[in-house]
Every structure is written in structure tokens, then in C-alpha cells.
Amino acid sequence: MMVAARELQVQGELRYDEPMSRHTSWRVGGPAETFFIPASIDDLANFLVELDADTPLFWLGTGTNLLVRDGGIAGVVIAATSMLRHLERHGELGVRAGAGVPCTQLARQCIRWQLGPSEFFAGIPGTVGGALAMNAGAHGGETWEHVTALRTIDRGGNVHDRSPDDYDVGYRSVRGPENEWFLEATLRFDPDVKPSMDAMKTMLERRKRTQPLGLPSCGSVFRNPPGDHSARLIEAAGLKGYRIGGAEVSTKHANFIINRDAATASDIEQLIEHVQTTVREVHGVQLVHEVRMVGEGNS
């Protein structure tokens, strides 16, 4: 049964059959059955309370590191980043950041406040919420190294205060209480480390030189295997520039797959699988993708 049949009362915006290609950095993806943009945390909580318990629910950030299949997403997609943009000091060495704050904004503000090391956040595409969900990192830094407290919301609309001890965190991996989503995090920085705006600008310039930032992609597709780099393995396997449909392994950075020419999600998923198969055959290494794949394929 469609969510619309219940005539849910909201202050935010409800859309139906919303193309997910509008909300992913790859610019692909079929429609979301129901797409909800809450106006506030109370609006979100009330919506969750009213929602049928068996309705599938997907929490959307900025759509980086995400592949939505061409058949779209059944149930409800919640897009709450626009109302989770608060960013404030917390004590002498801390910051409280909403899950919707872009990581680049977090880096810039922490540098202004002289809180470090924080420059690496500028190398993470997407938001604080997405960085929390996968322990994103860049330039030797990782998100959860700085987390001291969290606030989440569960499927029933209840808000929880959590500590890092409630989570099992690894390399690009985070496991915690089921059916909860991040609302904000409190981060703590090192009193002996002063960040540098120049260092951040150098990181961003290097990123601009070495990554295909002007084309639709999800950022790095694969995790780096122990002691090596996925990009090196992919390039050494002769896959730079390899295409399936409109999807292409970037000639600028081999760990990027770009939407070169009206790619479908199926093109991208097939190319991911081809890269994994080829690297395994050539190098004996099984690459693990970072990107999250959701939704249904076309029948």
C-alpha cells in the first residue's frame, strides 16, 4: 500500500515517484515511491510515529557514495539534511555538528576556530551524517577518531543520546543500534594541533588535479586493500577508460567511475563488477566497494 493512502500530516514536503537521479552525485537512479523532506526534528518524529511499521525506510544524505538502481526505491526516502545544518562550538576543544553539515564546511569552520587536526574533512565528499555512517576519511584522518557523542532518531521517532561505545567502528565500517539514524555528532580535537587553511587549500588543489571532479561520480568506489591502493590495482589491470554503456573508469583516477554519457545505474553496477572480476584475475585481490547500492533493478 502506498504511503500516500494514509494521508500523513506533515509540515515539510511529501513527493511521490520522485526521480532519485536528482538526488545522487552519479545522476542516476529510479524513482522513490515516497520522498519526504521534514521541516524540523519534531516534524520528522511525528512522521515516523505515524508511518506504518512495515513500510521500507531509507535515509538519504547528499547522495554521494550511493548507487540507486534503475527500478527505484520502494517505501519512503527521508531527505533531512537541509534541517540538520547547525554547527557550533562545544567547550574549548569541541564542535557540535548536524548530520547535514557538509564536511568541507566543517573543515573550514574548525580551521577558523583553530581546532585541529580538521583539514582532512575537506577531502570527504558529502555530509557529517554520511561520514559518520561509514567512518569516512581522507589524507590520513578518519571521522570517528574525533567523535565523543552522538544524537540519533529511531524508527519510532524517539531521539537517543549515544556514545562511541555503542558502535563497532572499523575502516570504512560502522555498526550500531539498528533502525537509528544520525542527527548530530559532537567532535573533539587535539589541543596541541593547530590546523592550517593553507594545508586545506593544498589538499583541495591536489584533489582537483588528481580526481575527475567536474563529472558525475560517487568519489572513490572501492576501499583500499591492506598495504595497497585500489586505484593502482585497477590501473595496472589496464582498466582506465574501460566503458560499459555510459559508465567509464576514469582516465584521471582509476578508483572513480564516472557517468560519461547518460549512464544507467545498471551500467555502473556492471562496471563495478567487471572491475572486481578483472582485478581478482590479474592481481588475486578482491576489491570491496565503498559505495552503497540500494533499490531494485528493472525487471
Q: Is 9 in the same domain as 38?
A: yes
Q: What is the pTM of this model?
A: 0.88
Residue 125: per-residue pLDDT: 84
- The CB density around residue 4, as the number of other CB atoms within 10 Å, is 11
Q: Are residues 23 and 58 in the same domain?
A: yes
CATH number of the domain enclosing 23 = 3.30.43.10
Model confidence at 244: pLDDT above 80? yes
Cis amide linkage into residue 117, ω under 30° from 0: yes
Domain assignment of residue 289, yes or no: yes
Same-domain pairing of 117 and 71: no
Residues 95 and 183 in one domain: yes
Domain annotation covers residue 197: no
Q: How far is CA 14 from CA 7, 33, 57, 190, 231, in A?
A: 10, 10, 14, 42, 40
Per-residue pLDDT at 4: 44
Residue 76 DSSP SS3: strand
Q: State whether 100 and 116 are in the same domain.
A: yes
Q: Is there a single domain that holds both residue 69 and residue 114?
A: no
pLDDT at 97 over 80: yes
- Answer whether residue 164 shows pLDDT above 70: yes
Q: For residues 151 and 136, what is the distance between their CA atoms, to the nearest angstrom?
A: 18
Beta-carbon count within 10 A of 141 CB: 18
CATH number of residue 117's parent domain: 3.30.465.10
CA dist 277 to 15, 217, 280, Å?
39, 21, 5
Q: Examine the domain organization and report whether 38 and 91 are in the same domain.
A: no
Last residue of a domain, one of 55, 82, 109: 82
Which H or E run contains 98? strand 94-98
Residue 254: which CATH number? Answer: 3.90.78.10
Examine the pLDDT at 143 and tell me if it is beyond 50: yes
Residues 159 and 251 in one domain: no
Same domain? 282 vs 222: yes
* pLDDT tier, 139 (very low <50, low <70, confident <90, very high otherwise): confident
Q: Do the domain assignments include residue 19?
A: yes
- In the chain, the number of structural domains is 3
Residue type, 48: L
Among the listed residues 124, 127, 129, the one whose alpha carbon sits nearest the alpha carbon of residue 139: 124
Spatial CA neighbour of 33 closest among 10, 13, 50, 57: 57
pLDDT of residue 7: 59
| Enzyme catalytic residues | 172, 220, 290
Task: Look at residue 206 in the predicted model and tell me its pLDDT.
Answer: 83
What gap in Å lies between CA 197 and CA 179, rounded to an integer? 38
Same-domain status, 266 and 277: yes
Whether 65 and 102 share a structural domain = no
Alpha-carbon gap, residue 31 to 49, rounded angstroms: 24
Q: Residue 135 — pLDDT band, cuts 50, 70, 90?
A: very high
- Give pLDDT tens digits for 20-78: 999 999 999 999 999 999 999 999 999 999 999 899 999 998 898 899 999 999 999 99
Residue 171 and residue 104 share a domain: yes
The answer to whether position 198 is within a domain reads no
Is position 35 within any domain? yes
Asked, for residue 201, whether it belongs to a domain, the answer is no
Structural domain for 274, as ranges = 213-294
Domain edge (last residue) among 150, 172, 188: 188
Quick one: which of 183, 186, 184, 287 has its CA closest to 232? 287
> CA-CA distance, 136 to 159, in Å (whole number)?
24
